[in-house]
């Protein structure tokens, strides 16, 4: 995997996290990684 591909994957994860966390309106929701 090239650095560009890795960056794309990380950016995709950030977008997915923002999208899903935005759908959840409960501010007390915690995320376990």
Q: According to the model, what pLDDT value does residue 24 have?
A: 59
pTM: 0.41
Band (2; pLDDT cuts 50, 70, 90): very high
Q: Which long-range contacts (CB under 8 A, 24 or more apart) does 3-11 make?
A: none
How much is the pLDDT for 3? 92
Q: pLDDT of 14-31, one tens digit each?
A: 777 767 666 655 555 565
Residue 25 vs residue 12, higher pLDDT: 12
Tokens of 3: 């650095």
């Amino acid at each position: 995997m090239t650095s560009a591909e890795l960056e794309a994957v990380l950016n995709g994860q950030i977008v997915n996290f923002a999208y899903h966390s935005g759908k959840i309106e409960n501010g007390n929701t915690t995320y376990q990684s």
